[in-house]
A and B are shown apart, each in its own frame.
Chain A
């Protein structure tokens, strides 16, 4: 009851009108109104108060407060008396007791009032049992929802793990018969090539080439499924990772006359071998897809963004048509015809997996003939 008297605009000036209004309010207000003497005796209450408790007014007025206040809420009544004396207002929650022994939850407001020169304690209660019940159900549903989400997240993680395990096992087991096929096509090549005519030799060549390609793909898949599983978390300085990668690639860098420039890169709590795969693939792509007339130039920089680092690897190569941008991150999706550029087409899928593993995402900005910029975020892992 925060409404101050001064905020009432339509106020009777005539005393009898004012008293009538008080009666109407008292009688029709759905809140229970109680007037206690300063020593805690109930001296007046309204119709709503009686209805809430299931007593007649006469019964109510003859009762001690502990007979219509539930024991669980009685402390509030004690506090109400003390608080009104101390601060002049009260606000709290309590429980009412009904004539049949039932319990209902209430919100309580209190104010001291003067009536005919005597001080009283005025209190208004509102039944909040239904509201509280809804609130409880809401909390319950919220909890259930959280539990469901947690369960689903766990299921998803388990299913992903199974999928990875599946990829690992199939690629591992596929290697064996494939190896046998390749071995026997070598046997044919070594021992029986002279007995085959031109067509037969061509067929054998295709078998060997396909076997080699499939072997490469299976190995790549195996590597893809293993990314992140074999390395522990450690503090990784990305400049160091880059230096290591460049040492490994020094022959290709020298052959193409490539220039690789990097700014200061961050140190992250991360998986070192995975980040190595990331940089290795991005830089080797930048060098591999160079323009014929221009030596490759690769620029790497890092900027801090909201609780992560954004790293950009830009090149001046042949670029990638925007219609292929999504496809390039998928396993074995190649943009170029086989032969012109080596590779099975798994490198950028590796990159996307490494970035996802570090809580980030990878994007590509590129136009044909205008180089490519791979931009990705990385986060320190817990």
Chain B
């Protein structure tokens, strides 16, 4: 598998970020992993072009800007800033309401149950990037 150039993690939980980054590294899924504990910071980096991930793994429940608000704000970015990134939502449990809402959201390309494991990471990339 060819690794992706960059995967961005947007999640306020450092423990999850640690585990997810580790899974991505063990899977050899990306050259670079960017970790954002605040969605606002991630959004700013995406807006000004300092961050150009191929894949964004987005948590739903976050203090401050949450996952849904991030998606709305992301949608308003200039097209060239957002077209390259594949957006995947990290989910803790299958809440049918959230799932329906996420499915109806045009930006989201998929779901990934937490915690992301090495195998889960490989499978996700195969599915999203046909690699």
Asked if A and B bind, the verdict is: yes
CB pair B93–A187 under 8 Å, yes or no, is no
Residues of chain A within 8 A of B22, CB atoms compared: 187
With contacts A183-B15, A183-B19 taken as known, whether A176 is within 8 angstroms of B92 at the C-beta atoms is: yes
A172 to B91, CA, bound (A): 13
CB pair B15–A172 under 8 Å, yes or no, is no
CB pair A172–B19 under 8 Å, yes or no, is no
Residues of chain B within 8 A of A172, CB atoms compared: 93
Q: State which residues 149-186 of A face B: CB under 8 Å.
A: 172, 175-176, 179-180, 183-184
Tally chain B residues at the interface, Cβ within 8 Å.
Answer: 9
A180 to B22, CA, bound (A): 14
B106 to chain A, nearest CB (A): 28
B19 to chain A, nearest CB (A): 5
Residues of chain A within 8 A of B115, CB atoms compared: 179-180, 183
Produce 1/0 per residue, B1-44, CB < 8 A to A: 00000000000010110010010000000000000000000000
| In the complex, residue of chain B having the shortest beta-carbon distance to the beta carbon of A176 | B92
B23 to chain A, nearest CB (A): 10
Residues of chain B within 8 A of A183, CB atoms compared: 15, 19, 115
B39 to chain A, nearest CB (A): 18
| In the complex, residue of chain B having the shortest beta-carbon distance to the beta carbon of A191 | B22
A313 to B115, CA, bound (A): 41
CB pair B93–A180 under 8 Å, yes or no, is no
Residues of chain A within 8 A of B16, CB atoms compared: 180
Residues of chain A within 8 A of B114, CB atoms compared: 179
Q: Is the interface of A mostly helix, strand, loop or mixed?
A: helix
B103 to chain A, nearest CB (A): 18
CB pair A175–B92 under 8 Å, yes or no, is yes
Residues of chain A within 8 A of B92, CB atoms compared: 175-176, 179
| In the complex, residue of chain B having the shortest beta-carbon distance to the beta carbon of A184 | B15
Q: State which residues 90-109 of B face A: CB under 8 Å.
A: 92-93
Q: State which residues 296-351 of A face B: CB under 8 Å.
A: none
A175 to B15, CA, bound (A): 14
Residues of chain A within 8 A of B15, CB atoms compared: 180, 183-184
| In the complex, residue of chain B having the shortest beta-carbon distance to the beta carbon of A219 | B93
Residues of chain B within 8 A of A176, CB atoms compared: 13, 92
B94 to chain A, nearest CB (A): 11
Residues of chain B within 8 A of A179, CB atoms compared: 92, 114-115
Write 15 A-B pairs (CB below 8 A) sorted by A numbering: A172-B93, A175-B92, A176-B13, A176-B92, A179-B92, A179-B114, A180-B13, A180-B19, A180-B115, A183-B15, A183-B19, A183-B115, A184-B19, A187-B19, A187-B22
Contacts A175-B93, A183-B19, A187-B22 given; 12 further ones with Cβ under 8 A? A172-B93, A175-B92, A176-B92, A179-B92, A179-B115, A180-B13, A180-B15, A180-B16, A180-B19, A180-B115, A183-B15, A184-B15
- Closest A-B pairs by Cβ, 3 of them: A180-B15, A183-B115, A183-B19
